[in-house]
Structure 1
Amino acid sequence: MSDFQESFDALCAAVPRLRDILIEIGFEKWSRAHCPARRYHYMTSNSAESMNALSNHARKIPITQLIEFFVQSVQKWFYDRRKEGIQGEHFLTPWAQKKIRGKVEGSRSWVVAGISQDSFDVDDGGKRGLVDFSNGTCTCRVWQVSGLPCGHVIAVSRFLGEPDCAHYAMPFYSNEVYKSTYVEHINPVPDKSEWEVPDGLVNLQPPVITKRQAGRPKENKRILSQGEDPTPVYCGRCKTYGHSRASCLAPPKTKTSSRTVPRPEPSTAQVEAGQFQDYVLQHTWPSYNLGDD
């Protein structure tokens, strides 16, 4: 529990507002050390990721062949683990034995003091653990949460002169439970020639398997977070949303000056010979009012 408190204080020191949020949610909902129920180890998706890695080369084959691949894999796993359980002579599985051996080496220097027939105080060099065999608990909660004896329980077992502390582990770590888990036989799928194919089935073509091109993909769109709205595309030419300026089909707008003077159309009026000089002086370009400039 002290390890949890130190980690919690360090996390809240980095993010001050996080303390109130986590306390309001409740420790039992997000902390494994405060979980009232017993659950096996950590809640992760490692099993699914392992299956994805196993079937990486078989994902694009037809579905019937993919199912046969999984059946053969599970059949091999059950056989190997069933054989391993039969050959095991210890009370616990090899995996549980390895975990306990690591804790045995780390608790050799711990000091144990008896309190009663079933209660013991263990000094582990800075932190203390109170072991109560009558209730099957330890104040560090490692024994209750993981199901394997913690270092304090192992130190008490050594203090009592017991040759092995395997009997303090939960029953689901036993070799008998391990063998019963894989006692069922996975039978292989019959040959294709022995299948009973009903009438009216449609033959499907196998999927086209294309080789990925070298280099970075052309499109690498980021997956939006939950509640995040996509940024609309804006066109600077037509001032609308839905496309960019590069793909805009609207014609470009030309800029016209408000001070541009239109050129007058040529005159086709008929003028008498005596009035020609006055007409020319009246209709020459300087006579137009071009502004104050």
Structure 2
Amino acid sequence: MAGLVYATARAFVLDGFNKKFLEIQRINPSCATYLVDVGFSHWTKVHFMGKRYNIMDNNIAESWNQVLKEAREYPLIYMLEYIRTMVMEWFTVQRTRAARSSSVIAPKCHEIMEENFESAMAMAVRPISDFEFQVQIRSGECFTVKLVEGSCSCNEFQSLSIPCAHVITAANRLGVSIDTFVDVAYFEETIRHSYEENIYPVPSVGGNSTVGTASGTRGDLNPPFTRRPPGRPKKIRILSRGEFKVKLCSH
């Protein structure tokens, strides 16, 4: 069921989504009802109105929750410094990797294109016009590629901005470099610019130093007047909307 939901969420065309979702309804109606209640636009590519690319994530906060598992016990200032140092190291690692790369396209994008290139070798291509082609796969299904418009009837090219196997087949027939169809967001140069800024340590502040307040006057920076809730602080994170605890059966 997990694999079926995964495939349904990543369907690029409506027909493919409908076939997979009907299969979910047949196998597990309660799961289908749950997915309908969530809303198709929240978990599927084909119903999402914006650009989801190839990323399907619940919430960026979930990733940070995992990263900050150790720092969660620290006092606030130390936790912020932990985050700053970690991000600083991440920027350094990514900047070094990008500087060493001699490729025009980013590594992950290059891997996807290599997989698509292997699939393209088994496809037949026929010209419709100068820059439009019919690409047929082994099963007999045909796709229409319009290179000037940057589209393919499979919708994968438009969704990911990375040449699908059908576009690669058409580009090879025309003798055009495949890299020209990759969005600039996947260029190594773009990644270098993403990490070119430096993250510096926060200067230490003296014992009686003062800082500007919101009103523009100067005064001591004191903690806010809040009442600490009773009991020990909770260590278990609060579940996001739609999440629920699953009890594991012991054998």
Indicate the TM-score class for this superposition, using the shorter chain for normalisation.
0.5 to 0.7
Greater helix share, structure number? 2
Aligned-partner residue type, residue 103 of structure 1: N
Note the C-alpha offset of 1:103. Answer: 1.4
Counterpart in 2 of 1:110? 123
Counterpart in 2 of 1:135? 149
C-alpha separation in 1, matches of 2:191 and 2:207: 35
C-alpha separation in 2, matches of 1:15 and 1:123: 34
Counterpart in 1 of 2:162? 148
Distance 1:130 1:48, change over 3 A: same
Cα deviations by residue, 1:174-214 (Å, 9 ceiling, x for unpaired): 1122111112111112346x576445857xxxxx999x9xx
C-alpha separation in 1, matches of 2:58 and 2:39: 24
C-alpha separation in 2, matches of 1:200 and 1:148: 50
2:43 and 2:56 in contact (8 A); partners too: no
Question: Which stretches in structure 1 are left out of the alignment for 5+ residues?
Answer: 203-207, 213-222, 227-293
Q: How many residues align?
A: 204
Aligned-partner residue type, residue 130 of structure 2: Q
- Sequence identity (%): 25
- 67, 78, 86: which is aligned to 2:99? 86
Counterpart in 1 of 2:247? none
Aligned-partner residue type, residue 202 of structure 2: V
Instruction: Determine if the alignment matches structure 1 residue 180 to structure 2 residue 193.
Output: yes
Counterpart in 2 of 1:124? 137
Aligned-partner residue type, residue 169 of structure 2: A
2:162 and 2:181 in contact (8 A); partners too: yes
C-alpha separation in 2, matches of 1:90 and 1:6: 39
- 157, 175, 178: which is aligned to 1:161? 175
Aligned-partner residue type, residue 155 of structure 1: T
1:100 aligned counterpart, secondary structure: helix
TM score, norm. by length of structure 2:
0.68
In our comparison, the structure showing a higher alpha carbon Rg is: 1
Instruction: Determine if the alignment matches structure 1 residue 60 to structure 2 residue 66.
Output: no
2:71 aligned counterpart, secondary structure: coil
Question: Which stretches in structure 2 are left out of the alignment for 5+ residues?
Answer: 1-12, 211-219, 224-230, 243-251
1:135 aligned counterpart, secondary structure: coil
Aligned-partner residue type, residue 81 of structure 1: Q
Aligned-partner residue type, residue 159 of structure 1: R
C-alpha separation in 1, matches of 2:165 and 2:130: 19
C-alpha separation in 2, matches of 1:112 and 1:48: 45
C-alpha separation in 1, matches of 2:168 and 2:151: 13
Aligned-partner residue type, residue 68 of structure 1: E
Note the C-alpha offset of 1:93. Answer: 0.9
TM score, norm. by length of structure 1:
0.59
Distance 1:200 1:79, change over 3 A: closer
2:131 and 2:147 in contact (8 A); partners too: yes
1:60 and 1:209 in contact (8 A); partners too: no
Note the C-alpha offset of 1:77. Answer: 1.0
